Amino acid sequence: MDAYKLLISGDIPLTGHTSVSGGKNTSVALIPAALMCDDPCTLDNLPDIEDVHVLVDILRGLGARVDYSTVTKRMVIDPRGVNACTVPYKQTQRMRASYYLLGALLTRCGEANVGYPGGCAIGNRPFDQHIKGFRALGAEVSEEGGMICAKGSLQGRTVFFDRITVGGTINVMLAAVKAKGQTVLCNAAREPHVVDLANFLNSMGASVKGAGTDTIRIRGVQKLHASQYTVIPDQIETGTLMIAAAATHGDVTVHGCIPTHMEALTAKLLEMGVSVTDEDDAIRVRPIGPHRAINVKTQEYPGFPTDLQQPMSALLCKAQGTSVVTETIFESRFKHLSEMRRMGARARILEQTAFIEGTQELHGAPVTATDLRAGAALVVAGLMATGTTEIYEPGFIERGYEHLEEKLRALGAIVRREPV
Ligand code: EPZ
């Protein structure tokens, strides 16, 4: 149980300007990638979130020198001292993306023994496609005592993913950058953070082509040289802030984002009757009138992101009419709606589909976050509700959002912590 809870006094329009931080899901891929470099690398714009701090601990445990400032958001990683290829379960279970150490250490050391990953309980989340890719490149992979053990010298091969997987695409890309010959990843994920990783690897001298499409070609290289790279802004934080603005019928401009990454959400907000205008590296969200109910179906990028389904379905709880939300990526990503019933939300869940009957009003209540984006959804719900909402287990939110409370307060929200 977290030692504190969040209290939100809702029904206040958010207004003003905010800035989005560096991306969580890109940072947790690029930091392990820096381990493969033959020289020190510098990463900028890294968000001050728990997942980044966990990776700093893991890299230091492997012998890398890591200098990280939460003020400058700059991390310098010197992997030349890496003297181990084992990451214990007590570290890996603290986050999902710890399994990227498999691809990175396989490339650097020819061997990797990594504990099972942790991460949000939103479904089964196997990693069979990661293992399929490593084996295709010639690695021997086994699972022993909660550890995934991989070793071998890697040859370029064609890997056809049985389903589109962000983690699988990233992990096998990491394993392929120094493999002998060409690797082709077919049915690859196209998310912005896949492209960001490819750009970072290429800045170190790798040869990765086609990232952002469903076919990625990687020609193995001998050496990766030093690079200084700035990670892209967080697509999901941008979307969460946009949804929070719409939820309070506020007027908010989100700066430092990439509007083209937000097109699926922007289209849905426009469909609901929210004003969304793109500026160069900013998006402005303004109210027009009552929100219309809409249908949302999550899909791999560039479709509607599953990570925004939870905040979006919270927003739909006050739309006029019944919305249908279909979650096609994960098996169990509607728990926040069960919590919101205590606030007056009316949602019926049938397997992968939620039927949300919009209500005039939500009222504050005690609710519990069950995962990172469920936490974000409950924050959106609290901002929409009259009265005060208490959110227990808000620690989940800190895993993926940098200083969210401060950002919301700066926009006029009444959010505070209270010891439990
Ligand atoms: C990444 O998870 C993100 N996490 C998730 O964000 C995000 O929801 C997801 O991609 C989809 O965009 C990070 O980047 C750290 P997948 P990942 O592999 O890589 C199945 C957040 O809130 N699958 O694309 O685990 C899997 O079970 C988090 O920031 C297999 O069957 O997602 C899921 O149903 C939550 N076998 C689907 O594919 C595999 O080997 C998509 O998973 C791998 C995945």
Same domain membership, residue 237 and residue 221: no
Active site residue 120: yes
Separation of alpha carbons 243 and 164, rounded Å: 26
Same domain membership, residue 215 and residue 286: no
CA of 364 to the centre of ligand 1 (A): 32
Same domain membership, residue 160 and residue 257: no
Domain with 376 in it: what CATH number?
3.65.10.10
Q: What is the pLDDT of residue 349?
A: 97
Nearest CA to ligand 1 atom 10: 166
DSSP conformational letter for 276 = E
Same domain membership, residue 133 and residue 239: no
Separation of alpha carbons 35 and 366, rounded Å: 43
CA of 307 to the centre of ligand 1 (A): 10
Same domain membership, residue 10 and residue 107: no
- Model pTM? 0.98
Kind of pairing, strands 147-151 and 158-160? unpaired
Last residue within a domain, chosen from 230, 251, 272: 230
Same domain membership, residue 250 and residue 208: no
Q: Which atom of ligand 1 is nearest to the CA of 167?
A: 19
Same domain membership, residue 179 and residue 111: yes
Same domain membership, residue 148 and residue 77: yes
Q: What is the pLDDT of residue 49?
A: 97
Same domain membership, residue 224 and residue 285: no
How many domains, in total, are found in the chain?
2
Last residue within a domain, chosen from 230, 265, 280: 230
Same domain membership, residue 237 and residue 225: no
Cα distances (angstroms) measured from residue 73 to each of 23, 27, 47, 49: 12, 11, 7, 11
Instruction: Write out the chain's pLDDT in tens, 420 residues.
Output: 899 999 999 999 999 999 999 999 999 999 999 999 999 999 999 999 999 999 999 999 999 999 999 999 999 999 999 999 999 999 999 999 999 999 999 999 999 999 999 989 999 899 999 999 999 999 999 999 899 999 999 999 999 999 999 999 999 999 999 999 999 999 999 999 999 999 999 999 999 999 999 999 999 999 999 999 999 999 999 999 999 999 999 999 999 999 999 999 999 999 999 999 999 999 999 999 999 999 999 999 999 999 999 999 999 999 999 999 999 999 999 999 999 999 999 999 999 999 999 999 999 999 999 999 999 999 999 999 999 999 999 999 999 999 999 999 999 999 999 999
Q: What is the pLDDT of residue 163?
A: 98
Last residue within a domain, chosen from 199, 215, 230: 230
Q: What is the DSSP string of 328-361?
A: -S-S---HHHHHHGGGT-EEEEETTEEEEE--S-
Same domain membership, residue 307 and residue 271: yes
Same domain membership, residue 407 and residue 374: yes
Separation of alpha carbons 6 and 68, rounded Å: 28
CA of 306 to the centre of ligand 1 (A): 9
Q: What is the pLDDT of residue 1?
A: 85
Selection from 338, 324, 419, 346 nearest residue 371 by Cα: 338
Q: Is the distance from the beta carbon of residue 330 to the nearest atom of ligand 1 less than 6 Å?
A: yes
Range of the domain at 59: 24-230
Q: What is the pLDDT of residue 103?
A: 98
